[in-house]
Amino acid sequence: MSSPAHAIYSSTLSLSLQGHEFKPQYDVQLILNKTAQSLLLCSAACNQNPSCRIFDYDSSSHRCRLFEADLANGAIIAVASQTSIVGSVILSA
């Protein structure tokens, strides 16, 4: 029997409608603010970071933000930019 640290997990991504950003409850929940050339690369960066549960991506500025928060610790909010989208990573064993 393997330990939880060596268990196999799968992840599912859930995306919001365009025109939304994630607003964390606390600023410290922002793990990383980086540039990514696509939504797919931003979501992959979140998926590869064990602490990341939520990310948002703006396709016009290529801004990718990774958060350790989830929807219990923040909110998806509507913004003026229609190029911004929020994604969440759902892990299952």
Q: Quick one: which of 91, 87, 90 has its CA closest to 38? A: 87
**pLDDT, average across residues 17-25:** 95
- DSSP tally for the chain: helices H, then strands E: 1, 7
pLDDT value for 29: 96
Model confidence pLDDT, tens digit, residues 33-89 = 999 999 999 999 999 998 999 999 999 999 999 999 888 889 999 999 899 999 998
CA atoms of 72 and 42, how far apart (whole Å): 22
CA atoms of 29 and 16, how far apart (whole Å): 19
pLDDT value for 93: 76
Half-sphere exposure of 91 (CA within 13 A, CB side): 14
**pLDDT, average across residues 21-40:** 96
Domain annotation for the chain: domains and CATH numbers: 12-92 (3.50.4.10)
